[in-house]
Amino acid sequence: MDKFVPFVSSINTNLIAPVFERINYLRNSRDSIKDLRTSIQNLKSRMNGEGTSTAPGNAGQVDTDAMKKWREDVSEIEKEANAIEEEYIQGTCVKNCWSIYEVSKKSVKLKKRAADLTLTETSFAASQPSAERIQIQPSTSTESTPLQQLLDDIHDPYSAIIGVCGMGGVGKTTMVKIVYNYFKENPRFDIVIMVTVSATPNIQDIRTRIGEQLGLDLSNVSEVGVARDKLSDAFGKKQFLLILDNVLQPFEFKNVGIPLLARSNKGSKIILTTRNEDVCTDMDADFTMKVELLSGYEAWTLFVEQAGQHVTINPIFTFAENIVERCEGLPLLIVTVARAMANRHGLREWENAVKGMKKSIKDIRGMEKKVLPLLKFSFDRLKDDTLRRLFLYCACFPEDHNIRKEMLDFCVGEGLVDRFHSLTAVRKEGGALISSLKAASMLEDGEDEGNVRMHDVMRELALWIISPEHDSSPNFLIRTSGSIVEAPQAKEWVGATTISLMNTGIKELPELEERCPKLATLLVRNNLRIHTIPKKNFFELMDHLSILDLSYTSELKSLPDSLSSLVNLRVLRLQRCSGLETLPALGMLSQLQVLDLCHCDKLKHQILKSEWVGGVCRLRYLDVSWSQVSLQAGVISTWLVKLEELRMEQAEMIRWWVSNENENENENNVGNNEGIDVRELSHLTHLTSLCICFKDIIISDWFKPLAEKMMNLELIRCRVIIQDLVEALNESQNPLKRLRIEDCEGVTCVPTVVEDHLSILNCADLEKVLDEDHDFLSTLKELRLELLPNLERICVGYAQQNCFGQLLIISIEKCHRLKTVFTEGMSDVFNNLKSITVASCDMMEVIIETDDDEEEEEEEEEEEERSNTRGNIHFPRLEYFRLQFLPALTDLCRNCTLQCPLLGELRMKNCPKLKKDSLKINGSDEFHFIDE
């Protein structure tokens, strides 16, 4: 039998597969021609449209050789498209299948070329300098742009690993971000991932971050081999594009779990950016391209774009030209200096700028020493000292660190609460400060929305500014590397204003003998080897300290009593100090405004009882989520009345009860003496944000005033007066981010303004989630429904157009009366859905319900088009589909085909009536079924 296997395989490879390929071209020929026509029209619009860099004849624009060549290519591709369309019409008239097949195949290839031209157009500058005003002429070089070169390498079948090298700030990251965003929107690959690699590659961290983008949580998988195999299995045999940005040291792909491309993932690509060309060689790059500094013309073009057209007019032009020359073609430097000079029209300002830049690089050799003084020029031109201090503060965090909540700490430490009187106003001010630094190109967007980070060159600038040779600068001690095992000596602490010891291998802190009169900020985060803080006078000698962050130092068991002497402390963060068992009394910390005890798992006693916090009356932010911290009755209404942000999710030791209710309505509580009356929360008149979990109480009229403050809400074993809950939350001006309802009575419908996550578990009264007249849940990202014995419909009637428009994940388990997931019309609104899980639903018959009774009395052409539309249901972004333990399931969708271009596999388990051979579903090129 075995001898026939190669023969059968050969038949499949050489005969059957090519036949099916031709059939697909024939079947999709009409759509292929239509898509090609749309692509060509878009290209022509970009070529002729007003305001684009490639539009011919734009006033004051310089026409580069690259732009001329681009327009010639567009014209040529338009001619080819017209010829293909004419050939298609002739083929269909005579029913020539071979001709239609050839034309369809040509149209697919031509559409790909059109897509490449569209992406190439984005690499041209948004605007060009005026040729009449500038005496600088463009280069006559006909070489392609770095972006076009990278695209060519990606499409080259012989390239698997592509290296992009060049100095910091030259534009490597910007270029690969363009490529990442393009292929995210144009599904050439099944998977598109971009990860920033730290200076010292941490294999586990790289693996975890790649896993997150694949929907895997590897953070708690301690065994290296298991985590690696899980990541490798997630890639499977899919085609992927993996971008590894800022790789400074080589590492082995197999140690991470990245598949060997040549063996199992043909067509996949890995792009790595680095400052060191040797890294490309060491990591076996098939092609390596170097991003060079800009030419004189390119540098001038970029400067004019960022500074404004006024720099092209003499006599400012003379000064501007001098400045551009001194930037030496580094894009980051050009943008930074240009934005510092934007809207500067006085000749004296330009003259002083040139003099200042000349003076700062006098007698300095080497590129590094030329760049940093020039960048410092922009630092010096920031409008005030607060901005400058914030910029330097950002350098306290490790390379590529995503900065978010640290901005609040800085602003509170700066005393901005006293000036603006509320955290809400302080956050707005912090956002304005960040915007100013981003506008000056001194900070950039981080990986997640709301985060920022420092570019490597800008961090080097900040470290250079705070280095010892700058006598007038604040004294910073920054040690943020795992290779550091010794803390700065005690004498170095004495004159410091800011000390950052983050992510180090330090085992102990020094015994201090002298006062540290200037020390305002001490950051000792993520130091896993520090077990104790020196007890002798350690904090007593820091009486000026305003920010103390010991978060993620998980081996700490206690803090010295000298903590109580920090009378000027405004911020105390102990997040994830999971070994911490006790704290000294906090009552002396009269200036404390931010207290973070999140995930302090072993703090079980009443840390926040009245005698411990009696003096902490200025507290604005308190987080005790996922901790064992208890809270004494009366503390909220007496001592914490200035709280603005309160986070108490999964705070197991905090119990609530409702006053003025019948005794049996609070029978599950710990009693009035130990629990906290929920009406104490009404004393928090400054409250703007509340994340909280209520258990075993009645949700009634007392809830309404709090609804406006809710951000995250959990209700467990509560009895819900549904109109009070739903009306209050739906009428709130600040929609909930997360809502979880579990084991609750009286839940017959749910709020419709939840932004991110909605989970409903074991609520026997729920029969439907939405009515057809609701168009809410438009921003919901994740929906989980579990153990709902009477749920019959998710949506009654047709779903409104905006409903579920941003939903990414839907999971339904153990809803035994539910017969279908997507009722009639619902599937049309799930354009962003990435994951579907349906499990253990005994009566589930079909995943998508359609209308079989629609009348079809139309003219022949209209009937054919409607049939095509009804015959396909599209999930354009679906990547994960799992069905298990569904005994009644017979089909995915009756009388229609599911079009899921990104779906690689459909996982099924214990679905006895579902026959794979009869399922109508089109996935990616690698699509297959998996029986678990």
DSSP assigned state of 96: -
CA–CA dist 25, 23 (Å, integer): 5
Identify the pLDDT of residue 48.
60
% residues pLDDT > 70 (the chain): 77
Question: Is residue 670 scored above 80 in pLDDT?
Answer: no
**Average pLDDT over every residue of 583-612:** 82
- Count Cα neighbours of 747 within 13 Å in the Cβ-side half-sphere: 29
Identify the pLDDT of residue 47.
64
**Average pLDDT over every residue of 145-173:** 86
Question: Is residue 692 scored above 90 in pLDDT?
Answer: yes
Which 3 state secondary structure label does DSSP give 741?
A: strand
CA–CA dist 187, 923 (Å, integer): 12
**Residues 278, 282, 286: CA angle, nearest 5 degrees:** 95
Matching residue, tokens 């961090």: 459
Identify the pLDDT of residue 15.
37
* Range of lowest pLDDT (372-381, 691-700, 852-861): 852-861
In sequence order, what are the residues at sequence separation of 6 or more whose Cβ sits closer than 8 angstroms to the Cβ of residue 258?
A: 210, 231, 232, 235, 242, 270
Do residues 74 and 47 touch, judged by C-beta distance below 8 A? yes
Residue 865 vs residue 127, higher pLDDT: 865
Backbone angles phi, psi at 741, to 5 degrees: -120, 120
Do residues 711 and 667 touch, judged by C-beta distance below 8 A? no
Question: Is residue 85 scored above 80 in pLDDT?
Answer: no
Question: Is residue 489 scored above 70 in pLDDT?
Answer: yes
Which 3 state secondary structure label does DSSP give 712?
A: strand
Q: What stretches of 655-708 adopt beta strand conformation (E)?
A: 656-657, 676-677, 689-695, 698-699
Structure token digits, residue 287: 């092609």
Structure token digits, residue 562: 């000298």
Residue closest to 173 by CA, chosen among 204, 150, 153, 203: 150
Q: What stretches of 349-473 adopt beta strand conformation (E)?
A: 444-445, 452-453
Identify the pLDDT of residue 24.
52
Q: Which amino acid is it at 79?
A: K
- Write out the DSSP string of 10-68: HHIIIIIHHHHHHHHHHHTHHHHHHHHHHHHHHHHHHHH-TT-TT-TT-TT----HHHH
CA–CA dist 832, 830 (Å, integer): 6
Do residues 294 and 329 touch, judged by C-beta distance below 8 A? yes
- Write out the DSSP string of 385-421: HHHHHHHHHHTTSPTTPPBSHHHHHHHHHTTHHHHHS
* Range of lowest pLDDT (363-372, 607-616, 776-785): 363-372
Q: Which amino acid is it at 547?
A: I
Q: Which amino acid is it at 13?
A: T
**Average pLDDT over every residue of 540-561:** 93
Question: Is residue 133 scored above 50 in pLDDT?
Answer: no
* Rg of the chain, C-alpha, whole Å: 32
With the CA atoms of 673, 677, 682 and 686 taken in that order, what torsion angle do they form, in degrees rounded to the nearest 10? 60
Identify the pLDDT of residue 164.
93
Identify the pLDDT of residue 783.
95
First to last CA, the chain: 27
% residues pLDDT > 90 (the chain): 27
**Average pLDDT over every residue of 140-168:** 79
Do residues 914 and 931 touch, judged by C-beta distance below 8 A? no
Identify the pLDDT of residue 233.
82
Do residues 543 and 567 touch, judged by C-beta distance below 8 A? yes
Do residues 288 and 165 touch, judged by C-beta distance below 8 A? yes
Question: Is residue 426 scored above 80 in pLDDT?
Answer: yes
Identify the pLDDT of residue 525.
93
Exposed, middle or buried: residue 882 (CB in 10 Å: 0-12, 13-18, 19+)? middle
In sequence order, what are the residues at sequence separation of 6 or more whose Cβ sits closer than 8 angstroms to the Cβ of residue 36?
A: 81, 84, 85, 107, 110, 111, 114
Residue closest to 747 by CA, chosen among 727, 718, 704: 718
Average pLDDT of the chain to the nearest whole number: 79
Structure token digits, residue 605: 């006693």
Identify the pLDDT of residue 818.
94
Tell me the pairing of strands 452-453 and 444-445: antiparallel
Identify the pLDDT of residue 854.
43
**Average pLDDT over every residue of 200-229:** 80
Task: Dump pLDDT digits (tens) for 248-292.
Answer: 888 888 888 888 765 556 788 999 998 878 888 889 899 999 888
CA–CA dist 54, 66 (Å, integer): 10
Task: Dump pLDDT digits (tens) for 754-772.
Answer: 999 999 999 999 998 876 5
What is each CA distance from 913 to 819, 821, 916, in whole angstroms? 14, 17, 10
Identify the pLDDT of residue 519.
95
CA–CA dist 225, 907 (Å, integer): 24
CA–CA dist 703, 188 (Å, integer): 50
Exposed, middle or buried: residue 819 (CB in 10 Å: 0-12, 13-18, 19+)? middle
Identify the pLDDT of residue 162.
94
* Range of lowest pLDDT (354-368, 660-674, 740-754, 895-909): 660-674
Q: How many CB atoms lie within 10 A of CB 439?
A: 11
Asked if the bond preceding 373 is cis, omega within 30° of 0, the reply is: no
**Average pLDDT over every residue of 607-631:** 81
Do residues 753 and 730 touch, judged by C-beta distance below 8 A? yes
Q: How confident is the model at residue 569 (pLDDT cuts 50, 70, 90)?
A: very high
Q: How confident is the model at residue 869 (pLDDT cuts 50, 70, 90)?
A: very low
Q: How confident is the model at residue 896 (pLDDT cuts 50, 70, 90)?
A: confident
CA–CA dist 579, 557 (Å, integer): 5
Residue closest to 761 by CA, chosen among 815, 693, 710, 809: 815
- Count Cα neighbours of 895 within 13 Å in the Cβ-side half-sphere: 10
Identify the pLDDT of residue 292.
85
With the CA atoms of 55, 60, 63 and 67 taken in that order, what torsion angle do they form, in degrees rounded to the nearest 10? -30
